[in-house]
Amino acid sequence: MSDSSGWGPAGPYGGPPGGWGWVPAPPPPKPGVIPLAPLGVDTVFGGAFATMRRYARPLFGLAALVHLAVAVLVLAAAAVAYAATSGHLHTIYDTPRHPRWADFRPVLLAFGAVWAFAVVGMTVAGAFVQASCAATLHDAVLGRRATLGQIWRRTWPRTPSVLGVTLLLGLILAIPMLLFAAVFVSFFLAVVGFGSDLPYGVLFLLMLAVVPLTVWLCVLFCFAPAAAVLEAARPVQALRRSARLMRGAWWRTFGIMLLGGLTAVVVSLVIRLPLMFAMPGPRPYDASSPPAADAAGVYAQSLPHSVAYLALSVVGSLVTQVFTMVFLPLISSLLYLDQRIRREGLAEVLLRVSGSVHE
C-alpha cells in the first residue's frame, strides 16, 4: 500500500469462535508492533516502545535533524541580529552615558524578530515530528521496513495539514484563555476602582472552569494529527474526525494520555539526573595559583565548568525533548488506531494489507 488513504472502514473485527468456552480463541494476528484487535493500556505502551525500538532511525533521526536545522537557523538569525545591532549594544553596555530609547528599540526589534522566528521554527518542527510519528506507525503496524528517506517522503507532504491542525487547535484553546484574561482585567479594574474583595473569589472559580475546558479540548482533538496523516484529511476535517472518534472514549483517552505524560516525565528525569551528577565539580584550591579576585579572573576560572555544564544541559534537553515529542504522538496515534479498530473494523483492512505486503 503506497499511502495511508486506503485505511477505510470495514466490518467489525471478530476472532474465531472458541467453541463452548473450553477451547480458547487463538490470539489476534500481530504482523507488526500491535495485535490487530482492540488495544489495552499495555499494548498501547508496548506498541509505542516497540515502534521506537524497531524504527529508531527514522523516528529519532528525523526529529533530531529537524531540531538541529531549526537550531542552526535560529543561531544564524541571532548572529545577523547581533551584527545589525552591535553598535547599539556597545552604546548600551560600554558607554558611560545613559542609554536612550532610540538605542534600545533596534535591539528589541531585532531580537524580538529572532524570538518570533524561533517560535515559528519550533512550531513547524513539532508538526513535522508529529506527522513523522504517524507515518512511521503506518508501516510499524503492518510490520514492514521503513527507511528514513521513505518516512521523509511520506511525512513532508502531510506536514502542512498537521501544522494547520496545530494552529487551529491553538486558536481554539486561545478562546477560553482570552476570556479569562478579559475577565481578569475587568476584575482588576473593579478591585482598583471599588476596593472590593469579591472579584477574587469569582476569578478563582472562573479559573477552575477554564482549566478543565482547556484539558477537555486538548483531549477531544488529540486524534487530529494522526487523522491528517493516515487519512490525508485537511485540518478542519481532521479536527472533526477526532471529535467523532472521541465519542464515548474521552475518559479512557484522557487517562492513557495522562499516564503517557507521566511516563515521559519519569524518562526525562532518568536521563537528566545522571547528566546533572556527571557534571564536573569546582576545581580544588591550589596555593600556587590562588583564585583571582577580579571579575575577569573569576570568569576565566569558571569558564571550563560553565561550558561543560552548558554542553551537558543542551544534550540532556535535546534527548528528553526528542523523546517526549516522539513518545506522546505515538501514544495518541495508537489510541486513534484503537478507536478505528473498535468502531470501524480497521483490523480487517490492516490484516488484508499486511497479508499482501508479506506475500
Closest of 154, 322, 291, 162 to residue 226, by C-alpha? 162
343 in a structural domain: yes
pTM over cut 0.85:
no
Q: Give CA–CA dist 79/85, Å, rounded.
A: 10
Domain total in the chain: 1
154 in a structural domain: yes
319 in a structural domain: yes
Neighbours of 66 (CB within 10 A): 24
Closest of 33, 61, 51, 48 to residue 152, by C-alpha? 61
119-149 pLDDT, tens digit per residue, is: 999 999 999 999 999 999 999 999 989 999 9
CA dihedral for 50, 54, 57, 59, sign (positive or negative): negative
Domain that holds residue 346: 41-279+293-352
Q: How far from 308 is each of 64, 282, 314, CA to CA, in Å?
A: 21, 11, 10
333-345 pLDDT, tens digit per residue, is: 999 999 999 999 8
The yes-or-no verdict on residue 348 having pLDDT over 70 is: yes
216 in a structural domain: yes
1 in a structural domain: no
18 in a structural domain: no
Range in 25-34, 121-130, 176-185, 337-346 with the lowest mean pLDDT: 176-185
Mean pLDDT, residues 228-256 taken together: 95
36 in a structural domain: no
Of 316 and 326, which is predicted with more confidence?
326
7 in a structural domain: no
